[in-house]
Amino acid sequence: MIRDFIYSKATTVKEALDLIEKHKDDYKIICGGQSLLILMRQGLVAPENLIDIKKVKELSYIDFDSKNGLKIGATTIHREIEKSKIIKKHYPILVYMEENLASDQTRNWGTIGGNLCHGDPTGDPGPMFLALDASVKMANKKRERTIPLEEFFVDYFETALEEGELLLEVQIPVILPKTSVVYEKFNIIKNDQGIVSVAALITADKGGKCKNARIVLGGVASTPLRVKKAEQMLIGEKLSDGLLDKIGLKASKLADPVSDIHASEEYRKHLVNVLTKRMVKKAWEQAKASAR
Ligand SMILES: Cc1cc2nc3c(=O)[nH]c(=O)nc-3n(C[C@H](O)[C@H](O)[C@H](O)COP(=O)(O)OP(=O)(O)OC[C@H]3O[C@@H](n4cnc5c(N)ncnc54)[C@H](O)[C@@H]3O)c2cc1C
C-alpha cells in the first residue's frame, strides 16, 4: 500500500526547484512514475512530498546540431526518442534500443530522465549512452553543472545527483565518421529489463584497424560497467577470431554479476562473453565497411 503524501506539481524548472527547496527535508521527484510508483507500492520509498515534473515542458525536447550533437531534455518520453526523425537519422541505434525497451504503455509515459535517475544497472539507456560518451546536465537552486555520464552512476539505484538537484538534459556527442555503435540485450521476457546487455562503439581506420573502442555492459555490476581493459586490447589491432575470443573472455572476467531468480552469476558471465564477441564483431565490420 502506498503511504499518504502531499502532491505538488511544477510546470517550469524554476517552480520545480522552488518546490524542492520548500520540501527539502523529505521529498521525491516523480515524472512518469513508471519506476518510482513500484518502489512506493512496495513500501521501499515513502516520501512525505511528491513533486511532479511531468508537465515541465521546457525539459521535453530533442535537439541536434552537427557540431554539438544531440541534446535530450529530461522529461522527454521514451516514445518520442523512438519516433524521432532526427534520432533515426543520426543515432539509429537509439531507436532500436527504445523499440526493445519496455511496453508501448511504459514508453508512452516513462521518461529518459526518470530512467537514468532511477539508477537501475539493468536499464537500457545507461550502457547505450555510456558507449556514446554522453554527459548529463543537472541543476539546483544555486548552480548548474554538467558531468560525464560515467560519473553519474554511483551504485545500485544510486546516482551522483546531490540534494536538491534536478536532472535537466542528456548530451550525446556527434558520432564520428567510420564509427559504428551497436547494442543488444538478452532478456527472458520480450521488451523487459535485460539479464545482460552489451553496447559497443568501434571506430575503424582506413587500413581496417581499430582506432577507438568503447564497450559497456549492463546488468552485471552495481552500475553500467565500461570494460576499459577489454577496449584497450582492440586499439591498433585488426579483427580476428582469436582476438574476439580474448575480448569476450576479458569482458566476462571484468563483469561482477550476482545470481538471482533470473540467472546465475556463471550464466551472466557466459552471456557477457557471447554478447561482447557478437557486438564487437558487428560494430567492427560495420565500421570497417564505412571506412572504405
Ligand atoms: C513494466 C516495465 C518494464 C520496463 N522495462 C524496461 C526496460 O526494458 N528497459 C529499461 O531501461 N527500463 C525499463 N523500465 C523502466 C522504465 O523505462 C524507466 O525506469 C522509466 O521510464 C522511468 O521514467 P519515469 O519518468 O517513469 O521515472 P519515475 O518513475 O517518475 O522516476 C524514477 C526515479 O527518477 C527520479 N527522477 C525522475 N526524473 C528526475 C529528474 N529530472 N531529476 C531528478 N530525479 C528524477 C525519481 O525521483 C525516481 O527516483 C520498465 C518499467 C516498467 C514499469
Instruction: Name the helix (H) or strand (E) containing 226.
Output: strand 225-226
Distance from residue 81's CA to the centre of ligand 1 (Å): 15
The answer to whether the CB of 223 falls within 8 A of the CB of 231 is no
Question: 16 falls in which pLDDT band (50, 70, 90)?
Answer: very high
Residue closest via CA to ligand 1's atom 17 equals 115
The share of the chain scoring above pLDDT 70, in percent, equals 99
**Position with higher pLDDT, 207 vs 33:** 33
Given a cut of 80, whether residue 292 has pLDDT beyond it is no
Predicted structure pTM score:
0.97
Q: State the average pLDDT over residues 62-89.
A: 98
What per-residue confidence (pLDDT) applies to 68?
A: 96
Given a cut of 70, whether residue 267 has pLDDT beyond it is yes
What per-residue confidence (pLDDT) applies to 192?
A: 82
What per-residue confidence (pLDDT) applies to 214?
A: 98
Summarize pLDDT for 125-139 with one digit per residue, the tens. 999 999 999 999 999
Can you tell me which atom of ligand 1 is nearest the CA of 138? 42
What per-residue confidence (pLDDT) applies to 188?
A: 85
Residue closest via CA to ligand 1's atom 6 equals 102
Q: State the average pLDDT over residues 7-30.
A: 97
Ligand 1 pocket, residue 76 CB under 6 Å: no
What per-residue confidence (pLDDT) applies to 259?
A: 96
The share of the chain scoring above pLDDT 90, in percent, equals 93
Average pLDDT, the chain: 96
What per-residue confidence (pLDDT) applies to 291?
A: 64
What per-residue confidence (pLDDT) applies to 189?
A: 83
Which residue out of 5, 31, 183 has the highest number of ligand 1 atoms within 8 Å of its CB and is therefore the one to mutate? 31
Residue 124 makes CB contacts below 8 A (sequence gap 6+) with 97, 98, 100, 101, 115, 183, 185, 194, 197, 218
Residue 104 CA to residue 114 CA, distance in Å, equals 16
**Position with higher pLDDT, 142 vs 190:** 142
Q: State the average pLDDT over residues 25-53.
A: 97
Assign 195 to helix, strand or coil: coil
Sheet with 196-204, edge to edge strand ranges = 179-186, 196-204, 210-218, 225-226
Given a cut of 90, whether residue 288 has pLDDT beyond it is no
Tally Cβ neighbours within 10 Å of residue 105: 10
Set of cell numbers at residue 66: 552537427
Among 220, 133, 142, 216, smallest CA distance to 170 is for 133
